[in-house]
Amino acid sequence: MRGRDHTVSATHGDMDQNTRDIIMREFRSGSSRVLITTDLLARGIDVQQVSLVINYDLPTQPENYLHRIGRSGRFGRKGVAINFVTTDDERMLFDIQKFYNVVIEELPANVADLL
């Protein structure tokens, strides 16, 4: 992504708190437009301008799904969550849909219409 001139930051649980705080300040200010993170930030992140959350993998517990996707579309803004799902994930996807009584639709061809 950086090779295509996207400003990208990443956090994970092995980083010290000071480094994570710096990265979050960059993301909140907009100087970093993409944040890649583990479940470390599934809860507690409060950034107004998040419009898209991409789940590279599904959470192992259905309860955690909402914490992940709930970062997008806050404060009256549109938000989209995209899940990369393999055949191994189909059971968890079913469990998530059942838990929240929702249908998670397949991604349409024109993603831009969602944002």
Q: Tokens 């950034």 map to which residue? A: 47
d(CA 56, CA 8): 16
Look up the CATH number of domain 45-115.
Answer: 3.40.50.300
What are the sequence ranges of the domains in the chain? Answer: 1-41, 45-115
- Per residue in 3-16, pLDDT (tens digit) is 888 899 888 888 89
CB contact set of 52 (below 8 Å; sequence gap of 6+): 72, 79, 80, 81, 82, 115
Q: Which two tokens stand for residue 39?
A: 């479940």
Residue with token string 């507690």:
44
Across the range 79-102, mean pLDDT stands at: 94
Is residue 109 over pLDDT 80?
no
- pLDDT score of 43: 63
pLDDT tens string 32-67: 888 888 776 666 667 777 888 888 999 989 988 988
User: Can you tell me the distance from the alpha carbon of 87 to that of 89, in angstroms, rounded to the nearest whole number?
Assistant: 5
- pLDDT over 90 (residue 93): yes
